[in-house]
Structure 1
Amino acid sequence: MITQTISLYNWTNGVIMIAIFALVCIALIGILINFMMSGKKKDPDEN
């Protein structure tokens, strides 16, 4: 029974999954900031 529960704790897989999740979150935040910064600015000369 102990060998079955020890095999559930795979640190390598957990660390890789957390790293991938962190990279995806950073990429999404970067894309969001990029959209916010590149929004159309109103030009007062157009009206």
Structure 2
Amino acid sequence: MIKLLTTLLYDWTNGVIMISVFALVVFILVGVLINFMASGKKDKASDN
């Protein structure tokens, strides 16, 4: 049991994968937000 806990605590692979997935999700959300902001400006300009 102790060996399993120390393996989980000191295993960097799981943490690196989780941080990478989180960073990927953040980049995707920022990209979607920028896309929405850019498309909103185009719609306002075409209305005028």
Which category describes the TM-score, using the shorter chain as reference length? 0.7 to 0.9
Residue 48 of structure 2 is aligned to residue 41 of structure 1: no
More helix by share: 2
> Which protein is bigger by CA-based radius of gyration?
1
User: What TM-score do the two structures reach when normalised by structure 2?
Assistant: 0.72
Percent identity (aligned): 59
**What is the CA RMSD across the aligned residues, in angstroms?**
1.6
Give the length in aligned residue pairs: 44
Runs of 4+ in 1 over 3 A off after TM superposition: none
Per-residue deviation, residues 1-47 of structure 1 (Å, max 9, x unmatched): 65243122221011001001000000000000000001111433xxx
